[in-house]
Each structure stands twice: as structure tokens, then as C-alpha cells.
Chains A and B, each alone.
Chain A
């Protein structure tokens, strides 16, 4: 079966994602009920045993009342006139999420009208699926998604009065290996012939404890994705029984076979047939977040889900209402829904995501080893003591010249370390009170992600964007920078990448995985040791200790004083530890009547550490006068001046003031040229449209 425009394809993924479609025990309900004919016809089952509060209700007027909601909620309902709906999202008590993607087709408009997409951007493919190539892509991407737990693909061919579930299923072994999963698990359900006039048999496979439920009139239940799936040859109708093997079962091992199956084993058939495919990916970690939702259309009104913090809280036909749904992305650009979420005037192309580094600055333990201690730690005193008592004369090793850097760092996250090792310098292990000094060894650069921070709209119109509204962000360590105003109504995330060697940070501001701002800053104070001076003074040690004793000692003491003074003012108590190092070194020099090192008096940029420590986003907007309610215009504005429209309208379909552009009045029969000209003039200068009399 070619996947054509009259095919519904739904995709589900996640720890408890189910295939979508009518999941309803047809033993208890008629197809008419499933089609939503009859007041409050439930189109999905309410499964209390599963702790699922799943329902879908359609009243006689075809208005969607509500749909699957709650634990394990995920349903798609189709019924005449293609009013499809799905509200599937959830997190269960264990914090496991699932998500789904739904694409549907509106036969009344003969085009694709909407889709919902996954919001876990970059971690799972999001699709508008209309071709078999797309289906193939879908499978391939699902298989290659390292984070996917399970994925399901469901195709259903729409047709009036057509409601069914999984006429056959297939099992796709991710590893291409056959397994016992080829065999059906204990079967408690039974075969349900959904379409009496068809030769297809729909079957519901029970799984584990589920058999209890399926045995209890649960045939027709939809499929849970953790179970193995089998391809049922529809020509075999005499199957299966418990632990039996299904005649004609095929095990598909790759995407190509799946597509081939779709094309050959399920050729185009009358509209009363439905097809369901499921691909399972196993042994994958749970996803950490998930959302799903669908925009749907009822009687020419398009509704979108209002999503807050990943949860669908309602639906609205006002596309300007803020919803995280607007941020959800598609990576396919060749199929465009008829109506897309209203973009900001900045027109950012969010389909193309920037490649954001997932790892920070490179770090490797090598020539230089870095030890990290909590500022103020007693370990600093231990190092000072060990170095100050180091036997320079007998060893001939000046350990200070191998102390290449000393920094005070306040990173945005904890410095990663790989356990502790004895403090080793110049191949020696200076001791404190006869024991090695064990220090944490730095293993990498810390990284941190903050947010997302939601930037709300105020006016819900053009005033929310530049040049009327300005958005800027304060990034600790880096200062203020401007953000493009199209972030209004969206959320931003800030990632910090660091380099502890240079004590620098890079803050990257992301919106929908696109980099929208970057800033660099300093996260520490550098206390450098001048290596050249060390070498020069070391020569002095070798050539004769006493020659430089008096003057050099005086110099060292002076520099140490500078460091202590500046450091003490700049970073206070913390640097006193570093100062102790300096003092200890000075004491060493004094002890040996020798000076071997000059210390730079330059400190790092302490200003970066003295600013605010929280991310701050300022949205600077124009004032909107006395009116405090949307749409924030003076009273009477709409009636006297009107809002900008730039849309084609039928005059009789609007109300109130209408000012039209370049009106063509040739369609008005019976009017003279002069009257047409007058009508044109009135329409272009402003016409008030009243409701026509009864």
C-alpha cells in the first residue's frame, strides 16, 4: 500500500507509547458509537485496571468534547468528516514519559491540515509523513535514535464508517535476530472481526499481565509497545491459540522489509481496511521528557493545544494564545500544514537547528596535572606547609618552579574530578606531617545548563517584537547582551562551557536549539608564577646561594606583600589560602637565605565574579496606555480605526468596520458604473457591516 494522502499515519514513541487508533472493545460498543454518532459516544476505552483515564467524547454535533487524557492517555479517533483528535501526553507516577507524533489528514479538505510533533528536539525525529519514503525515513531514524525506547508506526486508511484496530502487526527486531518473540505470548484475548465485510482479521495480543484484561472482554485493545508484534497474514483466520505460532507470521529485520511489507502485503484495498504497523526498539533508556499534541480542525475552526510545561492543559482556536506547542519543531520542510503557528515577525527559520556542542572545551590530563580544592580547604595549608619544609638543598629540586598555575575559580558547576591522588610535583610527593597530601584530580571542564526561561508575550501582537520590544539577558560572568526579539513567546536555555585552565567561560543562549546569543567571561582569578624568572633565579641557586641573599629576599618579600594586599581586597578570605602559598614560598626563601622566584603582581579579572549570580532576562516593552486589557488599544479603536488585517474576507462574514483595498465591484449585478464606483469608494474608505435582518 502506498502511503498516500488518504492515509493517516501516527507515530508513537516512548516507554509506554502505544500505537494509535481506535482502541475499543467492539464487543460492547457499536461502530456507530465509535464513530461518535450518539451523544457522548466514547471512542476510546476507559481502562480503570490500567489506571487509565482515557476517554474521547464526541457529541452529536460533531464537537469534540474532550479526548484521551490522563495516565497512559494517547488516542487518535477518526470518524466521518475526518474530525480527528488526539490528546496524548502523560507522565506516570514513576516519572516515565511517553510522547507521540501524529499526522492526520482531513478528507474534507483533501490535504494535510495539521500535525503534532515531538518537542524533545534533537533526540527523536519529528515528521510530517505523507510518503512511503517518509515512512522509511521514519523507521531508519527511529532505529538510529539512541534515546528511543520504542517507536510505533501506525497507518490507517480513512474511510467513513471505518473504525478498526491493527488488522495485522509486525515485529521488527532491532538487531535483526530472530527470537522467541516470534511466538505469541500467552493469549487471553480473542480475535475480533472488526469489519464484517472484510477478509481481514483484527487481533489483539495480550502481554503478560495484560492478558487478564484482554481476557475480560478486552479484544480490540490496542497494543502496548513493549510487547512483540507480529505480522498477521490476513488470509489466515483460524488462529491463534495460546502459545501457538501464527501462520504466515513474518519477522522483519530492517526498514526496507518494513516498507516492502507495506507495499506488497498490504496493497491498496477498499476503504474499509486499515493497516497498522509497529516497530519496536528495545532495551533503550527511558526518555527524560516528552510531550505531544495535535492541532485539529472542527467545522473550519482550527484548534491548537495549550501546552504549559509539557502538559496539554486545554485547547484554543486563538492562535495568538501562548503555548509551548508553537515551539515544537519539525525537521521536515517539504510538507507544510495549511496553517502554521504564527511566527514572530523576525521570521527565524527554526527548522534548522544549530549544532550546539555537547562537550565543553577539550581537557586532557597530560604534562600538567591540575588539582582542585574547595577554596578555604585545609589542604591548601597542607600544601603550603609541605612546600615550606621541602628540603631544597639536599634534593636540588625547586618545587616552586613546577607550580605553573594557581587560580581561584568559581565555575557554574562543580569541577569534575576522578578521585584523589597524592600531590605530586616535579616527581616528588611533598608530605604534610609525614603523610602524602591527597588531592582531587581534575578530569574535565565543568558544564552547566540553566533554564528554560519562558519569555511571555504581553500584547500578543507586533508590539511584542522589535523595534517595539527589546529583550536582553544578563549572563553571570559575562554581563548583558541583547537577544533577538523573536524569543518573546518562547523559552530560552543557557549553556555554560568552561575552561578551567584559562578560567574562562562561554555562555550560549539557545532558543529552540538555535544559538541566538553568545558571550564570554571570566570565572576565576589568576595567580600566575613567572616561569622565566624561576629559571633565572634557579641559576642563581646553582651558582651560589649567598651572593644574592639580601637583595633578592627583599624583592620576594615585596612582591608577596603586593599579592597579599591585592588578593585580600579582591577576593577576601578565599585568596588568603593562596596568599599563604605565597607566604610559604617567601618563608622558604628566607629559610634557605635564597630567592628563586618572582611573582607577578597581576590579578585576574575579579569584576566578573562580583556581578549578579542569577540569569536575568529583561523584556523592555512600550507602555500601552490606560487600557489594561487585551488588545491594549484605546477604547473605540477597533470601531473607529480597525485592526490591520491584510486577509481576504467575504464582506458579509465580518462585522463592524471594514476597510478594503482596491475593491473589485464587478460582481455586483444590476448596479450602474456610478453605483459600483460609489460602493468601491465606501468599501475603501470604511464600511460598517451590520448583521443582515432576519
Chain B
């Protein structure tokens, strides 16, 4: 079967990873193969790669080991990356965002204990522009 080799520069917990497609190669399954942790045999591609995509499985895999054997045969193992494999499904999920970098969904009026606060204070003043009780005042006398 044909697999596609990639070079990924994104963290694992990234949706729509930044991956550069390198080349398609022919691979054969080595031994019993699981969907989550396949081990494949390919010809040495001669390039560095850290991700591969198995079209037959419809999944992306993060390379966990590459072993080069005599005869330019490479044994590669990978672990499934469901975040990338199902990125469109994840993108369509409606979730309750607890925290988010996106300011558009921030709830600024909700208390956020993660924001550090200094114990020191700053004081802003608003001073009325009217002097109250100005002048010398009044003498008021009451008589009967």
C-alpha cells in the first residue's frame, strides 16, 4: 500500500498541524498490524520525516521509531494521531469553552483566578469640579 510521508512542525495537541508533504512511498505491513500502532516496512526514503499518512486506514501517524536495516530497508512504527486524522470532525464539534485564547469568546466579566494580581494598588480619582458650600455662608436666626 502507499503511504505519505510528512514533516510536522506542530505540537501534538494542534488542530490542523503544519505539515509538509514529502513523498509517497510503498509500504508493507510487518507482522500483526493494529490501527493505532502500525509497523511498516518501506524502502529507505533518504529524507527525514516524522509523520506519515496511511490512506487505507484514513489516519495520520506520528513516527515513534525508524530502524534502517541492511539493504536500505526501513522499519517504521507509528502511533495514531486522532487530532489530525479527524480534524474536520473536531472542528465541527460544539463544545463549552472553559478557556480560550480567542478574545472574541472571552467572558471578561467572569472572574479568572489565573490572571495574576499584584497586592499593590493604584488609585484613580474623580474630583468634582464644583466647590460645595463655597462662600462665607449664612447667619440664620430664628425668632418667634
Q: A614-B129, A661-B96, A668-B93 are in contact. List 4 more A-B contacts (CB 8 A).
A: A374-B137, A460-B108, A660-B96, A689-B15
Task: List, in ascending order, chain B residues with CB within 8 A of A690's CB.
Answer: 10, 14-18
Cβ-defined partner of B93 (8 Å) among A376, A453, A663 = A663
Cross-chain contact B112 with A462 (CB below 8 angstroms): yes
In the bound complex, CA of A659 to CA of B97 (Å) = 6
Cross-chain contact B124 with A456 (CB below 8 angstroms): yes
Q: Is B25's CB within 8 Å of the partner chain A? A: no
Task: List, in ascending order, chain B residues with CB within 8 A of A659's CB.
Answer: 97-100
Q: Is A79's CB within 8 Å of the partner chain B? A: no
Task: List, in ascending order, chain A residues with CB within 8 A of B133's CB.
Answer: 410-412, 476-477, 523, 609, 613
- Pair count A-B, CB < 8 A: 355
Task: List, in ascending order, chain A residues with CB within 8 A of B121's CB.
Answer: 620-623
Cross-chain contact B139 with A407 (CB below 8 angstroms): yes
B34 to chain A, nearest CB (A): 10
Nearest-CB residue, chain A, relative to B96: A661
Q: Is A409's CB within 8 Å of the partner chain B? A: yes
B69 to chain A, nearest CB (A): 30
Kindly specify which of A104-112, A119-127, A138-146, A364-372 makes contact with the partner chain.
A364-372
Q: Is A656's CB within 8 Å of the partner chain B? A: yes
Q: Is B11's CB within 8 Å of the partner chain A? A: yes
- The verdict on A320 contacting B108 (CB below 8 Å), with A453-B126, A649-B94 known, is yes
Contact digits for A457-497, partner B, Cβ 8 Å, 1 yes 0 no: 01111110100100000001100000000000000001010
Nearest-CB residue, chain B, relative to A674: B36
In the bound complex, CA of A298 to CA of B85 (Å) = 36
In the bound complex, CA of A524 to CA of B104 (Å) = 55
Nearest-CB residue, chain B, relative to A455: B126
Q: Is A657's CB within 8 Å of the partner chain B? A: yes
Cβ-defined partner of B108 (8 Å) among A456, A643, A655 = A643
B139 to chain A, nearest CB (A): 5
Nearest-CB residue, chain B, relative to A689: B15
Q: Across chains A and B, which 9 residue pairs bring their CB atoms closest together, nearest first?
A: A652-B91, A656-B101, A642-B99, A461-B108, A615-B128, A675-B82, A410-B137, A668-B89, A660-B95
Cross-chain contact B13 with A375 (CB below 8 angstroms): no
Cross-chain contact B143 with A425 (CB below 8 angstroms): yes
Cross-chain contact B80 with A644 (CB below 8 angstroms): no
Kindly specify which of A53-61, A553-561, A677-685 makes contact with the partner chain.
A677-685
Cβ-defined partner of B126 (8 Å) among A403, A454, A644, A688 = A454
Interface residues of B (CB under 8 A from A): 10-18, 35-36, 58, 80, 82-83, 85-112, 114-144
Q: Is A248's CB within 8 Å of the partner chain B? A: no
- The verdict on A619 contacting B126 (CB below 8 Å), with A370-B140, A675-B85 known, is yes
The prevalent SS among residues of B at the interface is: loop
- The verdict on A692 contacting B99 (CB below 8 Å), with A404-B143, A621-B121, A645-B107 known, is no
- The verdict on A375 contacting B137 (CB below 8 Å), with A404-B144, A687-B15 known, is yes
Cross-chain contact B125 with A616 (CB below 8 angstroms): yes
Q: Is A647's CB within 8 Å of the partner chain B? A: yes
- The verdict on A370 contacting B99 (CB below 8 Å), with A345-B109, A477-B133, A690-B10 known, is no
Cross-chain contact A461 with B112 (CB below 8 angstroms): yes
Cβ-defined partner of B111 (8 Å) among A462, A476, A616 = A462
Nearest-CB residue, chain B, relative to A678: B82
A667 to chain B, nearest CB (A): 6
Q: Is A451's CB within 8 Å of the partner chain B? A: yes
Task: List, in ascending order, chain A residues with CB within 8 A of B95's CB.
Answer: 648-651, 658, 660-661, 663-664, 683
Nearest-CB residue, chain B, relative to A650: B94
Nearest-CB residue, chain B, relative to A407: B140
Nearest-CB residue, chain B, relative to A343: B109
Cβ-defined partner of B92 (8 Å) among A411, A524, A623, A667 = A667
Task: List, in ascending order, chain A residues with CB within 8 A of B143's CB.
Answer: 368-369, 371, 402-404, 423-426
Nearest-CB residue, chain A, relative to B117: A622
Q: Is A92's CB within 8 Å of the partner chain B? A: no
What is the total number of residues of chain A having a CB less than 8 Å from a CB of chain B?
127
Cross-chain contact B106 with A670 (CB below 8 angstroms): no
Task: List, in ascending order, chain A residues with CB within 8 A of B110's CB.
Answer: 345, 462, 644, 646
Nearest-CB residue, chain A, relative to B111: A462
Nearest-CB residue, chain A, relative to B17: A690
Cross-chain contact A633 with B89 (CB below 8 angstroms): no
Q: Is A337's CB within 8 Å of the partner chain B? A: no
Cβ-defined partner of B124 (8 Å) among A574, A621, A685 = A621
Nearest-CB residue, chain A, relative to B130: A450
Task: List, in ascending order, chain A residues with CB within 8 A of B104's CB.
Answer: 654
Cross-chain contact A615 with B132 (CB below 8 angstroms): yes
In the bound complex, CA of A441 to CA of B20 (Å) = 93
Task: List, in ascending order, chain A residues with CB within 8 A of B134's CB.
Answer: 613
Cross-chain contact A462 with B109 (CB below 8 angstroms): yes
Cross-chain contact A524 with B144 (CB below 8 angstroms): no
Contact sample, A vs B, 14 pairs, CB 8 Å cutoff: A373-B139, A373-B141, A410-B137, A425-B144, A426-B143, A619-B123, A633-B115, A644-B106, A648-B94, A649-B95, A651-B91, A660-B98, A665-B93, A669-B89
Cross-chain contact A643 with B128 (CB below 8 angstroms): no
Task: List, in ascending order, chain B residues with CB within 8 A of A641's CB.
Answer: 99, 114
Cβ-defined partner of B131 (8 Å) among A425, A614, A652, A658 = A614
Cross-chain contact A374 with B13 (CB below 8 angstroms): no
- The verdict on A618 contacting B137 (CB below 8 Å), with A404-B142, A633-B115, A644-B112 known, is no
Task: List, in ascending order, chain B residues with CB within 8 A of A377's CB.
Answer: 139
Cross-chain contact A614 with B132 (CB below 8 angstroms): yes
Task: List, in ascending order, chain B residues with CB within 8 A of A73's CB.
Answer: none
Q: Is A78's CB within 8 Å of the partner chain B? A: no
Task: List, in ascending order, chain A residues with CB within 8 A of B102's CB.
Answer: 654-656, 658
Nearest-CB residue, chain B, relative to A658: B100
Task: List, in ascending order, chain B residues with CB within 8 A of A524's CB.
Answer: 137, 140
Cross-chain contact A408 with B139 (CB below 8 angstroms): yes
In the bound complex, CA of A621 to CA of B117 (Å) = 10
Cβ-defined partner of B101 (8 Å) among A403, A617, A643 = A643
B14 to chain A, nearest CB (A): 4
Cross-chain contact A643 with B138 (CB below 8 angstroms): no
Interface residues of A in 626-643 (CB under 8 A from B): 631, 633-634, 637-639, 641-643
Cross-chain contact A672 with B35 (CB below 8 angstroms): yes
In the bound complex, CA of A683 to CA of B100 (Å) = 11
Nearest-CB residue, chain B, relative to A573: B136
Cross-chain contact B137 with A644 (CB below 8 angstroms): no
In the bound complex, CA of A505 to CA of B115 (Å) = 43
Q: Is A103's CB within 8 Å of the partner chain B? A: no
